[in-house]
Amino acid sequence: MNTAYHSGSLAVQAREGVQDIAAHVGRSITPGIRPIAAAFLEAQPMLMLGTADAEARVWATLLTGAPGFVRATGPHTVSVAAPLPEGTPDGAPVGTLALDPRTRRRMRLNGTARTSARGFTIEAEQVFSNCPKYLQKREWYGSEPVGPEAGAARHGEALTPDQVRRIRAADTFFIATAAPDGLDTSHRGGNPGFVRVDTPSELSWRDYPGNSMFLTLGNLEEDGRAGLLFLDWETGLTLQLSGLAHTVYDSEGRVTRFRVDRTIETPAGSPLRWSPPEYSPANPKLWSPS
């Protein structure tokens, strides 16, 4: 992986006519971890991690710990006090997203992960921040992780009625995508209902205007594998989906369609508890499919 856009992102940028904007914004992507980025990482109690398992399925996973469980140990290295998800090969590419709902700040760090005595390290290859658009503001209850231990994970191949209800009520999810040069994890937000459940195995959502990088959609141009993570902010339940996605371009914009292949629901999968949201003023009105 390098700091330049790959062919998938370049193709989407050209289709949307934003090459100049993307080239300017892309200068913010660096391989180094600046002091302000290191301080932001060390203050976070959670980290979203995108990986591919032994069967090449892509997953987005939530990692949590007391602030400091993620910390920069050098200008290009991050140490995470948590294990890599089961099935992730040592030396595999990963994509991470650190997000702070309290301040609506977020940053992405992509690179190569290796196991360590503390958990694992990431050799950073892409580091950059994103704007606060579509981030819902939430307050964290407590200065350290709280809540009961995680319950037994429930595996499936399609959404249950309760999972459908949760997704339709969601205002946020996280998406991990893959490409030949690595993995990336990003955020999607909107008013509840912005994710549509078309069938128990199919989701769709409209792609809102953003930074014009088109890293997620660019990855989907090259490789349709994707992993979604939905979080119940108040109970800690996590819902992970793995499957394939593609983007449809029409006169009204861009719609991403996702097919569910595997599901993992973990009661109290997160020990963190957050307040109800203050919705982003940037959230668009809900859309109707054409």
**Per-residue pLDDT reduced to its tens digit, 39-97:** 999 999 999 999 999 999 999 999 999 999 999 999 999 999 999 999 899 999 999 99
Please state, in angstroms and rounded to a whole number, the distance separating the CA atoms of residues 16 and 12.
6
Q: What pLDDT is stored for residue 3 in this prediction? A: 47
Q: What pLDDT is stored for residue 2 in this prediction? A: 40
Across 2-11, 120-129, 209-218, least confident range: 2-11
Q: What pLDDT is stored for residue 226 in this prediction? A: 98
CA-to-CA dists, residue 187 to 76, 142, 174, 177, 184, angstroms:
23, 24, 5, 11, 10
The topology (CATH level 3) of 7-266 is Pnp Oxidase; Chain A (2.30.110)
Mean pLDDT of 115-130: 95
Which candidate, 166, 98, 103, 184, places its Cα nearest to that of 136?
103
Most confident of 86-90, 129-133, 200-204: 200-204
pLDDT digits 0-9 by tens, 276-288: 999 999 999 886 6
In the three-class reduction of DSSP (H, G, I as helix; E, B as strand; rest coil), residue 110 is classed as strand
| CB neighbours of residue 78 within 10 Å | 26
DSSP state of 148: P
Q: Where are the domains of the chain?
A: 7-266
Structure pTM? 0.95
Q: What pLDDT is stored for residue 1 in this prediction? A: 40
Across 2-6, 63-67, 81-85, 223-227, least confident range: 2-6
Mean pLDDT of 117-144: 91
pLDDT averaged over every residue in the chain: 93
Q: Are 124 and 109 in contact (CB under 8 A)?
A: yes
Q: Are 238 and 227 in contact (CB under 8 A)?
A: no
Bridge partners of 226, per DSSP, are 177, 243
Burial group, residue 45, by CB count within 10 angstroms (0-12, 13-18, 19+): buried
